[in-house]
Amino acid sequence: MVDKIKVENLSCYYNKKCVLESLSINVIQNEILSIIGPSNSGKTTFLRTLNRMNDLDSIHSRKGEVYLDNNSIFDMDMEDLRRRIGMLFAMPTPLPMSIYENIVYAPKRLGLISKKPEQDALVVRALKDASLWNEVKDRLKSSAMEMSGGQQQRLCIARILAINPEVILFDEPCSGLDPISTAKIEESMIELKRKYTMVLVTNNVKQASRVSDRTAFFLMGKIIEIDTTDKMFVSPKERQTEDYITGRFG
Amino acid sequence: MIRLSPKLSQKFSYLILFLATTLAITPVIVIIFIIVKNGMSVINWEFLASMPKNGMRDGGVLPAIVGTFVIVTCTIILTLPTGLCAAIYLNEYARDNIFARVIKLGILNLAGVPSVVYGLFGFGIFVMFLKLGVSIIAGALTLSIMELPVIITTSRNALNSVPYSFREASWALGVSRWQTIRHIVLPNALPGIMTGAVLSIARISGETAPILFTAAAFYVPHLPHSIFDQVMTLPYHLYIISTQIPNMPNNIIFGTALILLVMVLAISFVAIFVRIYFRKHRKW
Amino acid sequence: MRKIVDTIIEKIIFLCGISSVIFVILIFSFLFIESFVFFKDFSIIKFITGRYWYPDSKLALFGIFSLLVGSFLVTLGACLIAVPISIMTALYISEVASKNVRDILKSLVELMVAIPSVVIGFIGMIVLVPCVKKLFNIPTGLTAFSGSVMLAFMAMPTIVTISEDAIRSVPWQYKEGALALGATKWQTMRWIVLKTARPGIIAATMLGIGRVIGETMTVIMITGNSSRIPHSIFEPVRTMTAVIATEIGETVNGSMHYKALFSIGLVLFLITFLINFVADLFLEKNKNK
């Protein structure tokens, strides 16, 4: 069991207001770690700190350290870090271009591929890995904006897979989707576990129990409890965790 | 005083508002009508494509058309890249601090400066201080500084209308900020930027005061050879022939005014068309 | 390599970003330096309050009081005409007209912006000036009044467009609240909409003034260019902009006259700066409602 990401005493502030309080947590290689908790508990802030999406926000500040393979992410080149840690947003964010171009966009910009056959192969592989290939193989040139919400979200997954990240962050990826699309995305996530390490932030407690190996419960910017998903859902140690999981608040 | 019932007073007020609106749009229609009616008769190929003759009282307006075209082209070449970059800086890079506020104040201020003061400044700095003389380049520099705030503002609005989520999606894939701007933001903001630029072209084509003493010439017997030549332009030519030349035949003045008007309105329509077209075909 | 290119481009973008500030500073300091030299030789009090602008006589006098009065008179006249009409038009367009009519009216109003000021001046010369002469039975139609009328047309698009934005940004809850209490639509407009949109309308008016005060070509062509202090709006006047535009070509570089014109430029610069700054404050106020 190797720690892929290690977070030590991380605190985050928005306009001096503390939203994460000296957090320490680790993410193990090839696991799915779920983070659950009510809104405003700091889940998304935590996730956006891991690939430094918060850095562009001028009112944001932080303390503490995050290590990826024992190297501090704050010393890394930002673009390089984001290539290694991909992120899927709550709402599908296809770029306004064709399905094909959406996938080759980042690899082209990053200089990973150039030749046309390489691009074609990459598109096929990424779409297959995101289990989208069968649905779109006949219309790769059509606009990504015309797909359904669930397809768009899986396209975004394919887009991340195309740059070969090591970790993928999911920020409530199914919040805008219907149950069938949600099931498809969860399927892909379990499928992807063999190759990638994943962190899933979700409002949906059941989703966490379905897909994740371990679950952490956040409340008001603090970790209340972290354990294997099975244990957490069967016999939580903390009263607050139990109340949240059973739906007494949140 | 008689008090009207609320219903009646509403009807009465609407009538007044309607009359005011009619009053506000009449001038445009009247001006265009008068110029078209009186100017049509002189417009022919000869008028468009020949030099003025007989102390401007005869012949055509070719050098003024060419001159306007040249000076507008030079201006837009100078101002569009600068303005666009400034807009990119303000919208994509600047954080909301004192420094950005100073720049915004600067743009606001530039936008309010009267065009004749630009002319004065251009005369002082480009014509005299930099010794460019009264020339196309001095005029174009003056006009481009004048047009800068307009370009910055319209480009900035265009950039701002591109959803923030596109940028985030691109950054999250490890693409750098400039690459994101270059490949995602700019292509999607292009219609808005183009519309702004074309409207600027229309505005510059009609300007007189800034080039009065930086570029314009009363009469040049040949078409401009280089950017250091003086130049005739349509608006300045119209000013000259309508105020400075005695016994000027009215129909030639009207004809010149018509050409200027048609040019400016046609360019504006192109801009409006571009805007409508892209709004319909936008995918987001 | 990719990184280096990015950095260079970002540096260029930054430089362009500060260019506007550089130009403002450049314009201001250029005007200021020339004026400063001028005011060392000619008292600033005499410059502002002097009644006579005789730049060419042996004992040159550079009093701009008559020019200030000229600019003020033309601007005031234009505002008196343009502001009420524009506000009523804005109300009509945003609250009364149907959607299709609104679009047509708006484009017609905005079309006026596109017409070059020389064309407006020329039409004023040919159409308005003879009318004014006959109508008021005065020796010349080249008067401050003629200028005011034409400039009012030019200010209207600015005032209409910005007022309309302000009126439309009035939250619909305010209107519904009044309508629910039994007020007619007109009463709601009169007492609720106009009041809430006031900061925006004031800003619109100020920006209109800014446009009128800086207008040059129209003014040269139809206000008569006489630097006597006028007694009424039906006399010829001369504005600051007209003096700069007509005289700069004839001055000797570095002469007192040359510097005096730059000092007028500085006065114009400061006036318009103030107007725009205040207008922007009102616009911000309108936005933060």
At C278-289, the pLDDT tens digits run 998 888 887 765
pLDDT at B52: 83
Residue B23 lies in a domain: no
Q: What is the 3-state secondary structure (H, E, C) of chain A?
A: CCEEEEEEEEEEEECCEEEEEEEEEEEECCCEEEEECCCCCCHHHHHHHHCCHHHHCCCEEEEEEEEECCEECCCCCHHHHHHHEEEECCCCCCCCCEHHHHHHHHHHHCCCCCCHHHHHHHHHHHHHHCCCHHHHCCCCCCEHHHCCHHHHHHHHHHHHHCCCCCEEEEECCCCCCCHHHHHHHHHHHHHHCCCCEEEEECCCHHHHHHHCCEEEEEECCEEEEEEEHHHHHHCCCCHHHHHHHCCCCC
Residue A163 lies in a domain: yes
pLDDT at B2: 63
Average pLDDT estimate for C139-157 = 92
Residue B16 lies in a domain: no
**A194 pLDDT above the threshold of 80:** yes
| DSSP category for residue B217 | -
Chain A CB contacts of B171 under 8 Å are: 53, 56, 82
Residue of chain C with shortest Cα separation from B93: C14
Q: What is the pTM of this model?
A: 0.89
Dump pLDDT digits (tens) for C153-174: 999 999 999 999 999 888 888 8
Mean residue pLDDT of chain A comes to: 90
CB-nearest to C17 from B89, B117, B128 is B89
Average pLDDT estimate for A194-200 = 93
Sign of CA dihedral A12, A16, A18, A22: positive
Residue B24 lies in a domain: no
pLDDT at C183: 86
Dump pLDDT digits (tens) for C57-86: 777 888 889 899 999 999 999 999 999 999
CB-nearest to A95 from B97, B169, B176 is B169
pLDDT at C288: 67
Dump pLDDT digits (tens) for A125-179: 999 988 899 999 999 999 999 899 899 999 999 999 999 999 999 999 988 889 9
State ipTM. Answer: 0.90
DSSP states of B48-85 as a string? HHS-EETTTTEE--HHHHHHHHHHHHHHHHHHHHHHHH
**C6 pLDDT above the threshold of 90:** no
Average pLDDT estimate for B125-136 = 91
Q: What is the 3-state secondary structure (H, E, C) of C65-105?
A: HHHHHHHHHHHHHHHHHHHHHHHHHHHHHHHHCCHHHHHHH
Dump pLDDT digits (tens) for B70-129: 999 999 999 999 999 999 999 998 887 788 888 888 888 888 899 999 999 999 999 989
Task: Mark yes or no for CB contact B20/C84 under 8 Å.
Answer: yes
Distance from CA of B280 to the nearest CA of C (A): 16
Average pLDDT estimate for A92-102 = 93
Contacts of C259 (CB under 8 A, 6+ apart): C34, C35, C37, C38
Average pLDDT estimate for C137-149 = 91
Chosen from B33, B120, B200, B243 to mutate, greatest number of chain C CBs within 10 A: B120
CB-nearest to B172 from A58, A87, A91 is A87
Average pLDDT estimate for A218-232 = 91
Average pLDDT estimate for A192-200 = 92
pLDDT at B5: 83
Task: Mark yes or no for CB contact A159/B184 under 8 Å.
Answer: no
Chain B CB contacts of C15 under 8 Å are: 85
Of C239, C198, C201, whose CA–CA distance to C76 is shortest? Answer: C239
Chain B CB within 8 Å of residue A79 CB: yes
Q: Report domain extents, chain C.
A: 2-41, 54-287
Average pLDDT estimate for C92-115 = 88
Structural domain of A191: 3-245
Residue B68 lies in a domain: yes
Higher per-residue confidence, C207 vs C286: C207
Structural domain of B150: 46-281
Chain B CB within 8 Å of residue A57 CB: no
Distance from CA of B86 to the nearest CA of C (A): 4
Task: Mark yes or no for CB contact B20/C92 under 8 Å.
Answer: yes
CB-nearest to C105 from B21, B88, B114 is B21
Residue A250 lies in a domain: no
Distance from CA of B158 to the nearest CA of C (A): 16
CATH number at residue A229: 3.40.50.300
| Pair B236, C117: CB distance under 8 Å | no
Query: Alpha-carbon distance B241 to A54, whole Å?
Result: 63
pLDDT at A24: 92
**B1 pLDDT above the threshold of 60:** no
Chain C CB within 8 Å of residue B274 CB: no
What CATH class is the domain C54-287?
mainly alpha
Residue B202 lies in a domain: yes
Domains of chain A: total: 1
Domains of chain B: total: 1
